[in-house]
């Protein structure tokens, strides 16, 4: 009996690619002063993995490479979308990063408060409670 490992490879690549992408986009965007550098790296790696997936005859490796390649291409886009979230106050800014310090100065909605780091209260937060959390973080 032959085992088909394509599904397993695709599932693992999808899970770990999305998890690592989510965590790394937030961390890299928070720490990097010049956002174009990680964007170009993610684009190059993504395209490289995408091309590698078409050149290998190993199906599980091809599936995993293709999925990770497309995930990295998406992460390149997410660096800029994360920056937009910071400008709108949907993600915390890093005041020690000069790029974020400029965002904090230019965009009134930007905040250093991490609105996801809070205790659940069993109901939606009011606008006043959210403003209080933002003011406490800024």
Integer Cα distance of 68 and 78 in angstroms? 15
| pLDDT mean over 2-17 | 92
How far apart are the two ends of the chain, measured CA to CA in Å? 61
**pTM higher than 0.85 for the full model?**
no
Residues 92 and 137 sit within 8 Å (Cβ to Cβ): yes
Integer Cα distance of 102 and 31 in angstroms? 14
At 138, the pLDDT band (50, 70, 90 cuts) reads low
Q: pLDDT tens across 93-134, in order?
A: 999 999 999 999 999 989 898 877 778 888 888 888 888 877
Integer Cα distance of 132 and 23 in angstroms? 27
Distances in Å between the Cα of 24 and the Cα atoms of 16, 29, 47, 71 are: 12, 8, 18, 12
């Amino acid at each position: 009996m032959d085992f088909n490992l394509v599904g397993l490879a695709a599932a693992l690549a999808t899970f770990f690619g999305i998890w690592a992408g989510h965590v790394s986009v937030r961390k890299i965007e928070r720490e990097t002063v010049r956002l174009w550098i990680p964007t170009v790296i993610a684009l190059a790696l993504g395209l490289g993995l995408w091309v590698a997936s078409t050149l290998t005859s190993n199906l599980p490796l091809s599936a995993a490479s293709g999925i990770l390649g497309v995930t990295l291409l998406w992460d390149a886009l997410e660096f800029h979308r994360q920056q937009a979230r910071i400008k709108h106050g949907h993600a915390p800014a890093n005041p020690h990063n000069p790029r974020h310090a400029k965002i904090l100065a230019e965009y009134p909605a930007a905040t250093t408060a991490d609105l996801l780091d809070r205790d659940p209260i069993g109901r939606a937060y009011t606008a006043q409670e959210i403003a209080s959390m933002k003011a406490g973080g800024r």
